[in-house]
Amino acid sequence: MSLTMATEAPHFELPGVDGRDHSLDDYAQFPVLAIVWSCNHCPYVQGWESRMKSIQQDYGDRGFRLVAISSNDAESHPADSFDEMKARAEAEGFNFDYLFDEDQSVARRYGPERTPEVFLFDEGRRLVYHGAIDDNRDEDAVNEHYLRDAIDALLDGRDPAVRETPPVGCTVKWKA
């Protein structure tokens, strides 16, 4: 079950593709934090990756940070192994941290169902938006920019008008 609105972000400490461990506390200096469940193999994620990079690029100097986490079972989906994550991050020039939740314990605490799936937290690390990045997998057909709108609201000191949307994408690949 996913986190409910206003719930505090559960702690995590996970290895990143940059060779360092990253914990929730490491992002304390960023007033707005988006944790996006992600992976390598999913076409929905691949379709949204450029938008994830653009959002980090556009808001990175305004106190925002995007962190991607993959919890997929790399045995059933070898394309989602840590080595493949490192390769993809380098090949695609990710400008955000990409972390591996190998034992899926962090995913069990947050409760994502899909990739990509966004959990956006305010400065107090309370959940303020959960769901899709925007309303269309086709970048050219987007009408509603849910994540950008929610970030704008937080940076302006407002609550997001839209708090929850259904995530669209591949299922998280749980271990058997």
* Residue with smaller CB distance to another protein, 10 or 47: 47
**Comparison of 35 and 39: residue with beta carbon closer to another protein:** 39
Q: How far is the CB of 138 from another protein (least distance, A)?
A: 8
CB of 45 to another protein, least distance (A): 9
- Shortest separation between residue 168's beta carbon and another protein, angstroms: 6
Instruction: Specify the residue, 105 or 171, whose C-beta has the smaller distance to another protein.
Output: 171
CB of 173 to another protein, least distance (A): 8
Three state DSSP letters for the chain: CCCCCCCECCCCEEEECCCCEEEHHHHCCCCEEEEEEECCCCHHHHHHHHHHHHHHHHHHHHCEEEEEEECCCCCCCHHHCHHHHHHHHHHHCCCCEEEECCCCHHHHHHCCCEECEEEEECCCCEEEEEECCCCCCCHHHCCCCHHHHHHHHHHCCCCCCCCECCCCCEECCCCC
Residue ranges in contact with another protein by CB under 8 A: 41-44, 46-47, 76-77, 137-139, 168-171, 173
